[in-house]
Structure 1
Amino acid sequence: MPLDPQLEAMFAGQPEWPPVRNFPVDALREAVRSSSTRLPPPPVTLASVSDRTIPGPAGDIPVRIYTPEGAGPFPIITYFHGGGFVVGDLDTQDMIARGLSGGAGSVVISVDYRLAPEHKFPAAFEDGWAAVQWAAAHAAELGGDAALMGVAGDSAGGVIASACALLAKQAGAPTLAAVLNWYGPGIHPIPEEGSAIEFANGPVLRMDDAHYFWELHIRDESDYEDFRASPMKAASHVGLPATFIASAECDPIRDAVEAYGPVLEQAGVEVEVKRYPGMVHGFVSWLGFLPGAQAAMADACAFAQKQFAAVRQDA
């Protein structure tokens, strides 16, 4: 399947994004931030959007809280942005958090977790887990229902979401109803096969870009054995929440994203894996204008609503 025609036309009018190794980290962050914040937001109306900080393991964590219109209490979804654990913030994927809050009818807590290389693995995961626990403890004051909780993320954020589901199962609380993962791989390092070879040079994400982000992120290669970095390597996946996994067809890490699905299925977990034709890594950020991104958001939101409805029915 070729690249989506709308994306092909968009890329034809732009210079090719250079390999990320060519950027100093600060310049890379600014380039990503500048390009992301120029994107149109989705046509979503929310009751409120507010910034605050919450306590974390190494100091306060900035978060942005999105509240949908209507009468609560609402489900609560803790969301983690993408960016290879190196770039991204509350603004770069603001459009995804907005779409998720409106589409899933949920309070969304977007988490500005610590980034590498200043903060190596497992700092991002520790902040993510702290945020999930905080969301459960403060559900009522947020207009939410602690019995209706989910986690979500795109790319690196999808890995954090998957890891938080494993941590919640390990801890016995909070009970999560759903995991929404847009193109976050289930294993690291990414196996050099299949899509990693076919789309090694992109578009958008190169295989070397993915390797470089992880070089900045990990302390040493033993970190790859930690289930937070590689959710597929957890000792057990039995009892995990229902999981939605979205992959992009033209993405070097596509196969590593999709590989987590069968692992969950074999453990008896309800899982839906959807590949979006002609899409590239990061495509959900183009939610404001790209039909493929809108489909991936709508599918994830419908999946979450289904899981929340099942919890309500069983209550």
Structure 2
Amino acid sequence: MSLHPEIKKLFDTFPASDPNEEIKVIPEEARKSMNAPSIPLEKRVQVHSIEDKKVPTSEADIPVRIYTPEEKSSYPILMYFHGGAFFSGNLESHDEIARPLASVSGYKVIAVDMRLAPEHPYPAALVDCYNVTKWVTEHKGELNWDGENLAISGDSSGGNLAAAVSLMAREKREFTITKQVLFYPSLDLDFSDISRYPSLTENRKGYGLETDALPEFNSFYLSGGADPNDPLVSPIKEENLENLPAALVITAEHDPLRDEGERFAENLRKSGVHVETKRYDGVVHGFLGKWTHLDEFKDVYQRTGEFLNK
């Protein structure tokens, strides 16, 4: 399916990329545009309350933002790990996504502002996401957690972190993740052979996120010497996926990362994990927030809420 007309209209205004130009990303500069929310504050979904705080962990004090959808005595909790290729994104850039996740699902959403590369390469972001999730389970009363439902979610690189936290939680057994939601996740940081996933070739250029930029983006996360074949770096490399949380995997047709998300879902399914998948046609990577006002894509939050509440 071709790009949605509204998306194509915008993309047609972008200058064509130079195939001979060397890709060079300066994180501080890239963050200026990548961290800009697409929805003005006054037009974002309203929730009962929003609280910013810092969670003390053994590594650092990690900022979080807590979204309470309505007033009641207890809540299921959804951890949310933002995307941004491990080097960008923050609580503000993804506020427009966390709000509807809370409103539609009824879960109290806790968004994590993990430490970012290259200042803090792997495993800093993963450790932060795991430690904050553990902190949540240790502060049941303060958060009015129902003590039963603890789901995790993330988009793009945040989907990688969510999948990796699930693997860590299974091994450490310090708490139990009940469900995981992965939005167009980045699950394979090994780019030695891009032919493994046809979408890396089919969607190589012209759809916002470009295949040729991915190694440069992810190099910041890997700069501390991380092995892209380590399942905690590339969760799709994990061979044993048994006893992991039920998963909802959302992908986009015109996304270089589409096929690794769908393959991971199939791997989970083959391991006996309950999996639901949805590919949104005509749309690109990173469509939450940016394009969810369009009729074809706005049900993604409702779909997520239904999965979480089954």
User: TM-score, normalised to structure 2's length?
Assistant: 0.91
Q: Return the alpha-carbon distance in structure 1 between the equivalents of residues 17 and 117 of structure 2.
A: 21
| Correspondence for 1:243 | 247
Closer, same or farther: CA 245–20 of 1 in aligned 2, 3 Å: farther
The residue type equivalent to 2:105 in the other structure is A
1:207 and 2:211 correspond: yes
- Per the alignment, in what secondary structure is the counterpart of residue 243 of structure 2? coil
Determine if contact 1:202/1:250 at 8 Å carries over to the other structure: no
| Change over 3 Å in CA distance of 1:42–1:139 after alignment to 2 | farther
Query: Mind listing any 5+ residue stretches in structure 2 that lack a counterpart?
Result: none
Aligned mates of 1:41, 1:182 — CA distance in 2: 25
The correspondence for 1:24, drawn from 23, 26, 36, is: 26
Instruction: Give the 4+ runs in structure 1 shifted more than 4 A.
Output: 13-20, 37-43
Q: CA-to-partner distance for each residue in 1:1-25, whole Å, 9 max, x for gaps?
A: 1011121123334556899944421
Q: What secondary structure does 1:291 align onto? A: coil
Q: Against the structure 1 CA distance between its residues 247 and 48, is the aligned structure 2 distance closer, same or farther, given a 3 Å change threshold?
A: same
Matches within 5 A, 1:62-141: 62-141=63-142
Counterpart residue number, 2:146? 145
Change (3 A) 1:159 1:2: same
Whether the aligned pair in 2 keeps the contact of 1:202 and 1:251 (CA below 8 Å) is no
The offset of 1:38, in angstroms, is 4.9
- Normalising by structure 1, report the TM-score: 0.90
- Give the distance between the partners of 2:17 and 2:153, measured in 1 at CA: 27
Gap change, CA 1:272 and 1:38, over 3 Å in 2:
closer
Q: How does 1:173-188 map to 2 (within 5 A)?
A: 173-188=174-189
Write out per-residue CA displacement over residues 32-54 of structure 1, whole angstroms, 9 at most, x where no aligned residue.
Answer: 123x2555676533110010000
User: Matches of 1:211 and 1:236 in 2, distance apart?
Assistant: 26
Shift of 1:221: 6.6
Within the alignment, does 1:270 sit opposite 2:271 as a pair?
A: no
- Give the secondary structure class of the aligned counterpart of 1:188: coil
C-alpha distance after superposition, 1:223-282 (max 9, x if no partner)? 212211111222421111100000000011111111101110111000012110011000
Classify the secondary structure of the residue corresponding to 1:285.
coil
User: Structure 1 pair 251/288, CA: closer, same or farther in 2 (3 Å)?
Assistant: closer
Q: How many residues align?
A: 305
User: What is the Cα deviation at residue 210 of structure 1?
Assistant: 1.5
Contact 1:43 1:288 in 2 (8 A): no
Tell whether the 8 Å contact from 2:39 to 2:96 is kept in structure 1 after alignment. Answer: no
Query: CA–CA distance in 2 between the matches of 1:11 and 1:148?
Result: 40
8 A contact 1:79–1:111 mirrored in 2: yes
Q: Contact conserved, 2:122 with 2:226, CA < 8 A, in 1?
A: no
Structure in which a larger fraction of residues adopt helix: 1
What amino acid maps onto 2:249 in structure 1? I
Equivalent residue letter for 1:268: G
Percent identity among equivalent residues? 34
Aligned-residue offset at 1:297: 2.0
CA RMSD of aligned residues (A): 2.2
Q: Give 1:263's aligned amino acid.
A: N
